[in-house]
Amino acid sequence: MGLLRMAARTAVVAGTATAVSGRVARRQARKYDDQAPQQQEPEPQYDDAPAPAEGGGEDPDMARLQQLAQLHSQGVLSDDEFAAAKAKVLGI
């Protein structure tokens, strides 16, 4: 009788875990669907960056990285976009 009770308890626990997992997944999907229209901003153009002043002594790549970091900290660029743009500037 103990083995049957343990099997029933395991089935209940597994069923509950599956139900909770599905509910969490649906809630997260709904959350991201609600945020999607807000995130449809035009992507920044990386090639249109202003040229650094002549004789300024600052590395143009460093200035571009600082600009990208600022956009990332403001939330304009996601982590993946920031990493891709940084790799492009660094030539990686």
Q: How many CA atoms lie within 13 A of 49 on its CB side?
A: 16
Cβ atoms < 10 Å from Cβ of 77: 20
Yes or no: say if 85 and 47 are a contact pair by the CB < 8 Å rule: no
Tens-digit pLDDT string for the chain (92 aa): 677 777 777 777 777 777 777 777 888 888 877 776 655 566 666 655 556 555 556 788 888 889 989 888 888 889 999 899 888 888 88
User: According to the model, what pLDDT value does residue 29 have?
Assistant: 82
Please report the pLDDT score of residue 46 as a whole number.
62
Alpha-helical regions (H) of 36-78: 60-74
Beta carbons within 10 angstroms of residue 83's beta carbon:
14
Beta carbons of 61 and 89 less than 8 angstroms apart: yes
* Amino acid at residue number 56: G
Return the amino acid letter for 64: R
- Give the C-alpha separation, 92 to 89, whole Å: 8
Task: Tell me the pTM.
Answer: 0.38
